[in-house]
Structures are given as structure tokens and as C-alpha cells.
Amino acid sequence: MGGVHATGTPGATVWVLRGTVHPMTRIHELSALDLAAAIRGGEVSALEVTVDALERSEGLGPTIGAFIHLAHQQALTSAAALDAHPRTAQGSPLRGVPCPIKGLTMVQGMPWAVGSRVFAGQTATLDDGVTQLLRGAGTVMTGLTTVPEFGLPCYTEPDDQPAARTPWDPSRSAGGSSGGAAAAVAAGLTPIAHGSDGGGSIRIPASVCGLVGLKPSRGRVSPGPHGTDGVALSTHGVLSRTVRDTAAGIDVLSAHWPGDGYLLPDPHTSFLARCWVPPERLRIGVLTRPSNVDTEVHPACLRAVDKAVAVLEGLGHHVAEAPAPYAPDRWAAFIDLWSVMALGAPVPADREQELRPLTRWLREHGRSVTGVAHAAAVQRAQQLSRDTAVAWQGFDVILTPTLAQPPARIGQLRNDDDPERDFWDQTRFTPWTSTANLCGRPSISLPLHRERIDGIELPIGVMFTGELGHDETLLRLSVELEEAAPWPALPVPLAVEGG
């Protein structure tokens, strides 16, 4: 029973499994589902898995800015309790698997600064709803992953923490705002991590880190019982290296609390179970020109779409060009809604100047949005959703690049001297992601393409967006694509890691 360990490098030891299912496999190389199966089969204990994750996170995490907090004692205690009580979370497909939580989310007893120096030293006194669900599923929360201030930018470069970097090229950003989560999964510090997505914050890091990242449909994952829907741009999800791991994570998170403002019917069976059922032949629309901003799309991103189209057609799906979903002026609703959301944090007036320039600029814009203007923005967002439904009614799924450019270098998008330009540079970098948030549609980034840029192979994601409530369709299609055009399922070795 249990794992054995050999001498390692920066993670202290390299833990491998003994047994017949995964002989001599390094623990960190397993998917979340395979790791849970190894725990169930007695090849390794939950405690040994947790020790391995913590050692790797402590040794390698600072190199890529993955964590703002490692919860050694909490995690070890939780793992030991799972080993001592086999009936706890029995039947969960993720029992015993490490799953760090995004630093915007409350985990009782852990820091809760939401990426801002203004709230440094604050500790969460309770668990958020998604934290309760992941804990109930027997996952082990190894810590909190790095986030930018209030989760507002699409890069993760906090002032008082190391920037989150993609393990594929640590000179480049891991994206945001779930940047630390993506860096941790891509480097094998954890097989799965919690994230959230209000304008692309799961899919952007998934693309630049070579991961699977699903934004579920509006109403699939509740913000309750402590959070509210607000204008319903944001939702919770996970980042992982495989589609089935993502499906298992969404199964855990798909729950509702009394009083939820948006509610989808419960699926007839689990998303994970449906992943073994091939999808019907789908009508897939292709869109490679942004609707919300005028920007050039990098040839590598266009080649990623071309590759996806070739695979889809080879599988027998019907692929055709999709029309632009809405007029550019409709998207202005996102700016007003995002800026008002930035005002949600109760920052004391005498500490406003401690916020990052981008945060201050967004909050200033938010204060200029009157009640009437906010109501108009909500109406414009609803009309954008209607326009999109009409434009895409002939398609089951829409394919776009996830991003308009390859992974950005650290500091490339951040502009403290001109925060308005910072915002628009981010928009040009991520022109497609926010549409799914405005419409409430499910949307997934898949690492179907890689390309050498400046001498280094980098992941280039493609994005599939489905109809509201049709998360299952995206997951089943994604499994089919994963099997037809496999991407690297093993973590990315860091230069400091050695063999």
C-alpha cells in the first residue's frame, strides 16, 4: 500500500506509485480522475498525494507565481482524515485529489485579500458555497492561487506577489484572472484547480497554459449562499489537463442554493458519465473576426482554428462560416457593467489611492454610470444576447480563437501610466471571450494547437461556445477532439525542475 519516493530536485522528493495500475508513475503526472482511482485502489494514500503536491508547490510554485498561500496544516489534516475515514465523500470521483482555490474565494481560516494590498491581512471566516462543495467532494485544498486585484485584468501581475507565469515560457504571463490556478495545473503542482470566469478568466489562462478551461452556462453553478448573481457575468469552474477531469469538476460544482436568481434544470446524469457518449454530428460555425473591437488576429491563432476545422470535418461535423453576432456598439454594455462590478469591493475612501491604476480607472468609470445608464447597459446586454441567438441560430456550436495573440509577455498588457489603454489592449487581446459571459452561454478553451514563437513552443487555444444550458454538448465534443487530436496530458517540466 502507498507510494514510494525517490530523491528529487526542487520539490524535495519525487513520489512514484507502486502497484499494477500505474507502476512507477510520478504522482503529479496523473490526471485528477486517475489519481483518485489510485487512491481508491490503495496504490497511494491521500496523505502521500497531498505531501507530494505541497512539496512541489513549495519548491516550484514561486518560479511561476502559482500560489499566494499554501495551507500545509489544513491540507495535511484533511488528507489524513480522508485516509482514516474511508466512507467520507465515498463515491466522489475526486476524493483525495488536491484542488487549490482561487484567491478571490473564501476558504475558512485562509487569507482573503482578493488580490489587493488594501485587504492584506484579512482572513476568511467562512467557506464560500463552491468551497463547501469541493470540500464535500473530498478534494484537498492545498492553498490559494494567485489572482490580480479583484480579478479585473486578464493578466495576473499583483504588486505584492510574484506574477503568474505560463510554465511553457516563464517570461510570459499565465493570463488571468485565474492565472495562478492555470500555472499550478500546467506545472503539475495539482491536477485540477478551482477558477472563476467573468469575462474569460478561466478560458484565457487555459489557452496560454495549454489546459482545458470551461465557463459553464449561467445558472449551472450557484454563487450562493453568500454571493449574489449581480449582472450574472461571472461563474465558477475548474482548470485541468483533460476534458473528463473538467467534467468531474463541473459535476461537483453544479448545485443550487435557495433563492438563486438563475436556475438551470439538473442534468439527467452526470457530465462525466455523458463524456463517454459520442456527440451527434454538429453544425459548427466558424468566426475569426472580432465583433467588439477592431484588431488584427495573429496568424498562429488563425492556424489553430484551421487545424480545429480540419479535425472537425474529418470527424464528420458540418462546418461553415458564422456571421458576426452583434453590432460593436452593443458590446459597450460590458464596459459599464464591468466598471460597476469593480465598485463592489468596499474600499475605504482614504485607501482608494492604494489600488492599482487600472482598478481606480474602472471604479471611476463605474461611479460615472448613473442608475439609468446601468439599467440601459443591462438592456443592451440582453439585446446583445438576443442578437447573438438570432445570428447563430443555425449552429449548435461556434468556433473562434480563444485569443487574438499568442501568450503575452509579463508586462506587455499592463500599463499603469495609461490604464484606459491597458483596458483596451486587454480587449484586443481577448476579443471573443466576454460574449459568452454577456449571453450566459457555456464556452470552453481547448489546447488543440502549439506553435514555435521566438524559438519556444507555445500553446494556442481554440474556443467552442454553445447554446445556453448545453454544457454537455461542449464536453462531449471536447472529448471527441481530445481523442482525435491529443494534446500533452503531462505537466510542463520547468527549467529548474530537472529530470
CATH code for position 169: 3.90.1300.10
| C-alpha to C-alpha distance for 174 and 193, rounded to whole angstroms | 14
| Exposed e or buried b per residue across 172-204, where buried means at least 16 C-beta atoms within 10 angstroms of its C-beta | bbbbbbbbbbbbbbbbbbbbbbbbbbbbbbbbb
CA atoms within 13 A on the CB side of 140: 36
Q: What is the pLDDT of residue 18?
A: 53
Helix (H) or strand (E) segment spanning residue 285: strand 283-286
In-domain check, residue 494: no
In a domain, 49, yes or no: yes
Centre a 10 Å sphere on the Cβ of residue 418 and count the other Cβ atoms it contains: 13
* Distance (Å, whole) CA 465 – CA 368: 33
**Residue-level pLDDT at 23:** 54
Q: Is residue 2 scored above 80 in pLDDT?
A: no
Rounded distance, CA 368 to CA 339, Å? Answer: 9
CA distance 105 to 100: 11
* pLDDT surpassing 60 at residue 390: yes
Positions marked active-site: 102, 177, 201
Residues with Cβ within 8 Å of residue 269, at least 6 apart in sequence: none
Does some domain include residue 62? yes
Q: Band of the pLDDT at 497, cuts 50, 70, 90? A: low
Residue (of 14, 19, 22) closest to 2 by Cα position:
19
In a domain, 353, yes or no: yes
Give the contacts of 357 (CB within 8 A, at least 6 positions apart).
416, 417, 419, 422
Number of structural domains the chain divides into = 1
Q: At what angle do helices 179-186 and 46-64 cross, to 10 degrees?
A: 120
In eight-state DSSP terms, residue 267 is P
Q: Tell the residue number behind the cell numbers 439585446, with chain if given.
A: 383
Please determine, for residue 318, whether its predicted confidence score (pLDDT) is greater than 50. Answer: yes
Kindly state whether residue 343 falls inside one of the protein's structural domains: yes
Q: What is the mean pLDDT of residues 286-301?
A: 97
Would you say residue 489 lies in a domain?
Answer: no
- Pick from 418, 196, 355, 449: nearest CA to 426: 418
The band of 267, judged by pLDDT with boundaries at 50, 70 and 90, is: confident
Question: What does the mean pLDDT of the chain come to?
Answer: 94
The pLDDT > 70 percentage for the chain reads 94
C-alpha–C-alpha distance, residues 274 and 473, integer Å: 9
Give mean pLDDT, residues 19-28: 68
pLDDT for the residue numbered 440: 97
54, containing H or E segment: helix 46-64
In degrees rounded to 5, what are phi and psi of residue 99?
-150, 90
All three cell numbers of 57, joined, read 508547490
**In the predicted model, what is the mean pLDDT of residues 409-418?**
99
Nearest to 11, CA basis, from 498, 407, 475:
498
Cα distances (Å, whole numbers) of residue 13 to 31, 49, 96: 19, 12, 20
So what's the pLDDT on residue 86? 96
Each residue's pLDDT tens digit, 94-126: 999 999 999 999 999 999 999 999 999 999 999
243 assigned to some structural domain: yes
In a domain, residue 400? The reply is yes
> What's the average model confidence in pLDDT over 48-59?
98
State which residues form the domain around 243.
3-484
* pLDDT value at residue 495: 57
Q: What is the pLDDT of residue 4?
A: 40
Nearest to 72 by CA among 64, 85, 61: 61
